[in-house]
RNA sequence: GGCCCCUUGGUCAAGCGGUUAAGACAUCGCCCUUUCACGGCGGUAACAGGAGUUCGAUUCUCCUAGGGGUCACCA
């Protein structure tokens, strides 16, 4: 048997990380077993439909490399793959169930139901549909139907007995039929409910393994009653955990950083996000942490899936992203960094040198402008920056050093990294001082910052001769004035 | 509230009757060093609680507690 899995998102906006991970696991499971991965769009709720959301789904999945074998835009033998285009196929299936005595027409008005529910709750009872309309005779039903009375079709759940199934991750799940409600299959508007459409779609599309969030765990026995009523073979169920923001709340839309796009915008690498998310709730069984999508396909298995929810740790994602950045070829780093260079006003500077000083220090690309702002524009700084114990320097020493360094640099022919480096290090040696004693004041005067990416040499080079010398002179003037 | 599920350091997480209870992130300290970062070395830190079963429980069972999910003509 060929394994067939599906990812069935609702087009309601951007790609939530929880959804992304569900899609990923579903994809990985199919690929690992040489099966098919199907994309189905669940858009039965037109009220929640968001324009362009389907494209977001396509773009995100493809951008990551998760290609689907069947779906709305690529076709397949089990189409259509958009639920709204399948709306006519559900009612016949529901009628088939009515014929078989596994479902029934219900004419109860919404208001009546709500009243009865309120009564039950007032008595402290749990409301369950009372099968009021199940007792209607064939004639009564036919009459109401003929009269055009609005109706829904409900699943007829046995009053007693046990409904159970075995989940791959959670094991045996059993619930008492007495606790199950007669859920609505077809709504008054003729459209199927999500639950019913899901069962029909999954079966008619030949889905063998249903992978979905564990919020469906408790209702799955009900789904299976439907499969049984149709005499369809039940799929294998794999319920997945949620991603949490903390122990109490799941990662949700209002956290502002629950979306894949949010992280891309902040300068995270797609590969790092996917890698991190894959590890949230799954482990390969060995010590590996870094995986390409292909490696994930190879390593993935349900044995490694966790049954308890995982809390999203932005710090670890950031660490992983930094690792991915460090492993980039310098040229690739530059491709990602360039937009940020431009916005920081240093787009004209030597990208090889920028990469050399920034790549090891960049955790997320959006940090770059803040790190390099001083290169584009000199910043105010206090004299206290010239004091550093380890480098054995203070404003007096700094003034002396800078005054002696300035003419040497002015005379330097070769304004390159090597040229500046050899000159400065050479001077420190000749003058018999620690490298730091000479380099610290120079770097402070050049950058105006205590902490900078790169050292005095790189900064002097990037600034260019004129600007570097100007900043040195300004530093000397500042030290002479003493403020 | 009924029903279902979950519970190893701050976080991810290994473990599947006998371990000094891995590893990673974070954190702390030291080293390297031209600041920071990178890198190297090391430290702190966990089996929710209680009964069983067993020669022996983190591991199996039950109970309690805490947390989550679900009880719609929403998906």
Residue A349 has pLDDT above 70, yes or no: yes
| Range from A51-55, A231-235, A254-258, A330-334 carrying the lowest mean pLDDT | A254-258
d(CA A125, CA A481): 84
pLDDT in tens, A404-459: 999 999 999 999 999 999 999 999 999 999 999 999 999 999 999 999 999 999 99
A190 phi/psi in degrees, rounded to 5: 90, -10
Residue A250 bears catalytic tag: no
A209-213, strands of its sheet edge to edge: A171-176, A162-167, A236-240, A209-213
Quick: pLDDT tens for A221-274: 999 999 999 999 999 999 999 999 999 999 887 666 789 999 999 999 999 999
Q: What are phi and psi of A241, to 5 degrees?
A: -75, 170
Average pLDDT over residues A48-60: 86
What nucleotides of chain B have any atom within 7 angstroms of a protein Cβ? 1-8, 10-16, 22-26, 33-39, 67-75
Which band of pLDDT confidence, cut at 50, 70 and 90, is reported for residue A48? low
pLDDT for A282-301, tens place per residue? 999 999 999 999 999 999 99
Kindly provide the b/e burial profile for residues A13-48, where b requires at least 16 CB atoms within 10 angstroms of the residue's own CB: ebbbbbbbbbbbbbbbbbbbbebbbbbbbbbbeeee
Confidence at residue A426, expressed as pLDDT on a 0 to 100 scale: 97
**Residue A334: per-residue pLDDT:** 98
Please name every residue paired with A236 in a beta bridge, in sequence order, or none if there are none: A209
- Active-site residue among A253, A316, A392, A434? A253
Q: Over the stretch A163-219, which tens digit does the pLDDT of each residue have?
A: 999 999 999 999 999 999 999 999 999 999 999 999 999 999 999 999 999 999 999
For residue A114, the model assigns a pLDDT of 87
| pLDDT value of residue A422 | 97
Over residues A97-116, mean pLDDT: 92
Q: Give percent above pLDDT 90 in chain A.
A: 88
pLDDT > 70? residue A80: yes
Q: Which nucleotide is nearest to A198 (CA to C1')?
A: B75
User: Residue A287 CA to nucleotide B41 C1', Å?
Assistant: 21
Residue A15 in contact with residue A60, Cβ under 8 Å?
A: yes
C1'-nearest nucleotide to the CA of A173: B4
- Which SS3 state, helix, strand or coil, does residue A283 take? coil
Give the mean model confidence (pLDDT) for residues A34-51. Answer: 83
Mean pLDDT over all residues of chain A?
94
Note whether A166 and A172 are within 8 A (CB).
Answer: yes
ipTM: 0.96
Length A286 CA → B59 C1' (Å): 20
| Bridge partners for A32 per DSSP | none
The predicted pLDDT at position A45 comes to 67
DSSP letters along A75-123, please?
B-TT---BGGGGGGGHHHHHHHHHHTTSEEEE---HHHHHHHHHHHHHT
Using C1' positions and the CA of A239, the closest nucleotide is B5
Interatomic distance A224 CA / B61 C1' (Å): 29
pLDDT band at A383 (very low <50, low <70, confident <90, very high): very high
The confidence score (pLDDT) of residue A256 equals 66
From the CA of A415, how many Å to the C1' of B20? Answer: 58
């Amino acid at each position: 048997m060929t394994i067939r899995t599906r990812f069935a998102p609702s087009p309601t906006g951007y790609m939530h990380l929880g959804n992304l991970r569900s899609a990923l696991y579903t994809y990985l499971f199919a690929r690992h077993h040489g099966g098919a991965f199907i994309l189905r769009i669940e858009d039965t709720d037109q009220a929640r439909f968001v324009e362009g959301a389907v494209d977001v789904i396509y773009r995100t999945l493809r951008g990551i490399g998760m290609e689907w074998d069947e779906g709305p835009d690529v076709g397949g033998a089990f189409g259509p793959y958009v639920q709204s285009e399948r709306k006519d196929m559900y009612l016949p299936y529901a009628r088939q169930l009515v014929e078989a005595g596994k479902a029934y027409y219900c004419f109860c008005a919404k208001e009546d139901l709500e009243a009865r529910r309120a009564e039950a709750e007032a008595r402290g009872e749990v409301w369950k549909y009372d099968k009021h309309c199940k007792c209607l005779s064939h004639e009564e039903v036919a009459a109401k139907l003929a009269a055009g009375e609005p109706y829904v079709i409900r699943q007829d759940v046995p009053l007693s007995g046990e409904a159970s199934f075995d989940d791959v991750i959670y094991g045996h799940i059993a619930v008492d039929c007495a606790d199950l409600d007669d859920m609505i299959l077809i709504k008054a508007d003729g459209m199927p409910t999500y639950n019913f459409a899901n069962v029909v779609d999954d079966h008619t599309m030949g889905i063998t393994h249903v992978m979905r969030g564990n919020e469906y765990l408790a209702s799955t026995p009900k789904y299976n009653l439907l499969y049984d009523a149709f005499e369809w073979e039940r799929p294998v169920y794999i319920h997945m955990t949620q991603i949490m923001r903390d122990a109490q709340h799941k990662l949700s839309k209002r956290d502002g950083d629950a979306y894949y796009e949010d992280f891309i915008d902040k300068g995270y690498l797609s590969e790092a996000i996917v890698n991190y998310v894959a590890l949230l709730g799954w482990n390969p069984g060995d010590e590996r942490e870094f995986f390409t999508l292909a490696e994930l396909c190879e390593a993935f298995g349900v044995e490694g899936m966790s049954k308890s929810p995982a809390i999203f740790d932005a710090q670890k994602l950031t660490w992983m992203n930094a690792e991915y950045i460090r492993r980039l070829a310098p040229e690739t780093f530059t491709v990602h960094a360039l937009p940020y260079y431009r916005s920081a006003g240093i787009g004209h500077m030597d990208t090889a040198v920028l990469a050399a000083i920034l790549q090891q220090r960049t955790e997320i690309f959006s940090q770059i402008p803040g790190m390099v702002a001083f290169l584009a524009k000199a910043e105010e700084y206090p004299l206290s920056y010239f004091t550093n114990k380890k480098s054995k320097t203070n404003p007096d020493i700094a003034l002396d050093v800078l005054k002696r360094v300035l003419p040497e640099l002015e005379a330097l022919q070769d304004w390159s990294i090597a040229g500046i480096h050899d000159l400065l290090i050479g001077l420190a040696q000749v003058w018999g001082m620690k490298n730091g004693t000479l380099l610290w004041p120079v770097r402070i005067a050049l950058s105006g910052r205590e902490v900078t990416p790169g050292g005095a040499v790189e900064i002097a080079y990037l600034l260019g001769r004129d600007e570097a010398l100007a900043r040195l002179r300004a530093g000397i003037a500042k030290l002479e004035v003493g403020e």
